Amino acid sequence: MITIDFYICSELQIRACQGWETAADDLPCTGICIPNQSALTSLAGLLTNKSLYPALPLADVPHPIHRVNANVVNAINDISHDDLLDISVQWATLSPWSEIEINPFDLAGFLVHLKSLWHESDEPQKAIFLWFGEELI
């Protein structure tokens, strides 16, 4: 499993962080553990009905930080609560989640919290950034 923190902030704010501990203290965030990065790809596909890279790495940063694709961010912004819950059920049935029998309600809780943080943020230049943590055994 890979830990990922999702931050809602501007690129300038995420670049100013010295480590994930300060980012977590200073910026709105939520997190999830995923089996591998294909879980992000399958979520991006469900949200956008497209096959695309869910996030691209930021250049010139000393940390493993990625910026979420604008199409994915727009989908999170626009999706209804009920559709978000439906997507969490669909997401749980896809690989790699289907191989570990994840509870769709856990995925729904993560997605609802992410959407809530997005809507609560008043940062005018906000985006969603992923900070990849250590791989857990």
111-130 pLDDT, tens digit each: 999 999 999 999 999 999 99
Residues 6+ apart with CB under 8 A from 80: none
CB burial string 80-100: b at 16+ within 10 A, e below = eeeebbebbeebbebeebeee
How much is the pTM? 0.92
Q: What is the DSSP string of 34-64?
A: ESSTHHHHHHHHHHHSS---SEEEPTT-SS-
Question: Percentage of residues in the chain with pLDDT exceeding 90?
Answer: 77
pLDDT in tens, 50-88: 988 899 999 888 888 999 999 999 999 999 999 999 999
